[in-house]
C-alpha cells in the first residue's frame, strides 16, 4: 500500500496538460480587406440610388415652382385680361431720344422702366410686400430700389441649377459692370425664362435697324416679348400645346426676375462655336428657333430645344439629367426630354402657327 501511495505522488507520474494559446480577438489583414471591399461594393450600388432620389426631389421642387408661376400667370390674366408683358419699355419710338441717355438703348430701343414678366407677377406669388416697394413708373435701376431688386426669391430658383442662386452684377457688351447713376446694378437671380416663341426679335431686330419700327409684335410669335399684351384667346394653337416658361441654368448664363436694362448684355459662361453675347432681352426671355437671321455654319436654320448643344444664352437649359421642366399655357408642368423632336418643340413654342403637335 505504501509503495502504491509513493508511486502515485512521484513527479514523473503526474500528467501535465499542454498549455493552450489564448484565443486572439480581431480581424486578420485578409478579413479586413474583404470587409472593405464589400463595403465599397455596397456604396457603389447605393450611391447612384441616393443621388437619383435627391435629383427626383429637386426636380419635384422645380416643378412646384413652375406650377406656382403658372397659377400666378392665370391669376394675372384673370385680373387684367392679358398676360404680363415680356418686359415693359417706353414705346413711343419717335420720341425715345428724348429720354435720359441712361434710360434707353439707341441700338435695341430697350428703355425704362424695364420691368420683367416675373416682376409683374409678384403680387400673385405671395410677394405683395416686395411688390409694394416698387413704383412701376420708375426705372427698375432707380437707386431707391437697389435693395429690393437684389432680393433672393426661391420661387424663381431651381434646386438643380448650379452657377449661382444669389444676386449678380449686370454687365455690358464688353463684360464690364453696367453702371447707372454712377453705380453698378445688383439684380436678383432667376432660373426661369419666358418664351418669346420661335423668333428672336431683340438686339438690332428690336431697334431702328430692324425694319419693324420697334414693333416687336410684327415678328414675335410667342406669348412674351417687349410690351406684349397677349390674351389667352390669342393662343390659337392651344394653351396645352404652348410653352410659356422654361428653365435656364445660371451655369450657362445669368438671368433675372427683375427687368431688362438698356445697355446690359448676357454673356455665355460656357463657350461653344455657336454661342455669343446677346442683348439685354435675354435676361428674361428665350426662344426655340427657327428664327430669321439665325443659322448654323452651313446656313441651316437652328432649332434649340432644352439642353441643345448650341448653348445659346437665348435658349432653355437645365441641369436635370436628360431634359428640362417647362410650364405650358394651361398651367400644367411637363418634363421635356432633350431628345425631343426639333420640329415638335418649335411648334410648342409658337402661339398661333397652326401646327399639329403629337404627344411629347
Residues of the chain with pLDDT under 50: 1, 4-9, 11, 13-15, 21
Domain membership flag for residue 40: no
List, as one string, the DSSP characters of 272-341: -TT---EEGGGGTEE--S--TT-B-TTSPBP---TT-TT--TTS-B--BTTEEEEEETTS-EEEEETTS-
Report residue 131 as a C-alpha cell: 411688390
Q: Please state, in angstroms and rounded to a whole number, the distance separating the CA atoms of residues 290 and 313.
A: 15
Closest by CA to 219, choosing from 311, 104, 354, 350, is 350
pLDDT of res. 243:
98
Q: Please state, in angstroms and rounded to a whole number, the distance separating the CA atoms of residues 255 and 315.
A: 12
Domain membership flag for residue 307: yes
Report residue 149 as a C-alpha cell: 431688386
Q: What is the pTM of this model?
A: 0.87
Domain membership flag for residue 37: no
Q: Please state, in angstroms and rounded to a whole number, the distance separating the CA atoms of residues 265 and 107.
A: 12
pLDDT of res. 177:
98
Domain membership flag for residue 12: no
Q: Please state, in angstroms and rounded to a whole number, the distance separating the CA atoms of residues 213 and 265.
A: 22
pLDDT of res. 50:
65
pLDDT of res. 9:
44
Mean per-residue pLDDT over the chain, rounded: 91
Per the structure, the count of domains in the chain is: 1
- Report the relative pairing of strands 333-337 and 168-169 from DSSP bridges: unpaired
pLDDT of res. 39:
85
Domain membership flag for residue 89: yes
Q: Please state, in angstroms and rounded to a whole number, the distance separating the CA atoms of residues 166 and 151.
A: 8
CA torsion angle for 58, 61, 66, 70 (degrees, to 10)? 160
Q: Please state, in angstroms and rounded to a whole number, the distance separating the CA atoms of residues 77 and 80.
A: 5
pLDDT of res. 293:
80
Domain membership flag for residue 10: no
pLDDT of res. 180:
96
Domain membership flag for residue 72: yes
Domain membership flag for residue 267: yes
Left (φ > 0), alpha (ψ -120 to 50) or beta: where does 125 sit? alpha
H or E element, residue 245: strand 243-247
Closest by CA to 259, choosing from 82, 174, 359, 134, is 134
pLDDT of res. 5:
47
pLDDT of res. 18:
52
Report residue 66 as a C-alpha cell: 413652375
Domain residue limits at 314: 45-349
pLDDT of res. 148:
97
Angle, CA 301 vertex, CA 201 and CA 283 arms, to 5°: 35
Amino acid at each position: 500500500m505504501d509503495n502504491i501511495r509513493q508511486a502515485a505522488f512521484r513527479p514523473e507520474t503526474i500528467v501535465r496538460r499542454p498549455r493552450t494559446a489564448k484565443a486572439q480577438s480581431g480581424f486578420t489583414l485578409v478579413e479586413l480587406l474583404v470587409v472593405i471591399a464589400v463595403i465599397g461594393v455596397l456604396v457603389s450600388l447605393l450611391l447612384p440610388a441616393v443621388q437619383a432620389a435627391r435629383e427626383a426631389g429637386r426636380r419635384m421642387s422645380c416643378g412646384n415652382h413652375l406650377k406656382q408661376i403658372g397659377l400666378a400667370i392665370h391669376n394675372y390674366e384673370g385680373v387684367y385680361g392679358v398676360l404680363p408683358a415680356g418686359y415693359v419699355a417706353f414705346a413711343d419710338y419717335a420720341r425715345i431720344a428724348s429720354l435720359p441717355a441712361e434710360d434707353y438703348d439707341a441700338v435695341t430701343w430697350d428703355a425704362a422702366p424695364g420691368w420683367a414678366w416675373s416682376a409683374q407677377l409678384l403680387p400673385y406669388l405671395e410677394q405683395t410686400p416686395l411688390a409694394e416697394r416698387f413704383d412701376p413708373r420708375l426705372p427698375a435701376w432707380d437707386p431707391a430700389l437697389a435693395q429690393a431688386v437684389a432680393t433672393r426669391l426661391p420661387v424663381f430658383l431651381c434646386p438643380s441649377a448650379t452657377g449661382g442662386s444669389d444676386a449678380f452684377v449686370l454687365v455690358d457688351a464688353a463684360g464690364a459692370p453696367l453702371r447707372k447713376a454712377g453705380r453698378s446694378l445688383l439684380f436678383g437671380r432667376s432660373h426661369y425664362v419666358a418664351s418669346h416663341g420661335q423668333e428672336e426679335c431683340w438686339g438690332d431686330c428690336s431697334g431702328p435697324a430692324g425694319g419693324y419700327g420697334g414693333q416687336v409684335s410684327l415678328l414675335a410669335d410667342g406669348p412674351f416679348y417687349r410690351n406684349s399684351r397677349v390674351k389667352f384667346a390669342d393662343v390659337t394653337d392651344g394653351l396645352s400645346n404652348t410653352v410659356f416658361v422654361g428653365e435656364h441654368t445660371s451655369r450657362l448664363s445669368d438671368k433675372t426676375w427683375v427687368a431688362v436694362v438698356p445697355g446690359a448684355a448676357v454673356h455665355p459662361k460656357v463657350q461653344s462655336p455657336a454661342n455669343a453675347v446677346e442683348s439685354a432681352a435675354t435676361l428674361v426671355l428665350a426662344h426655340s428657333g427657327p428664327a430669321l437671321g439665325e443659322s448654323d455654319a452651313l446656313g441651316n436654320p437652328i432649332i434649340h430645344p432644352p439642353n441643345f448643344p448650341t448653348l445659346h444664352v437665348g435658349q432653355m437649359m437645365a441641369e436635370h439629367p436628360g431634359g428640362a421642366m417647362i410650364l405650358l399655357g394651361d398651367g400644367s408642368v411637363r418634363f421635356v426630354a432633350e431628345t425631343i423632336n426639333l420640329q415638335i418643340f418649335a411648334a410648342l413654342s409658337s402661339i398661333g402657327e397652326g401646327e399639329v403637335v403629337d404627344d411629347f
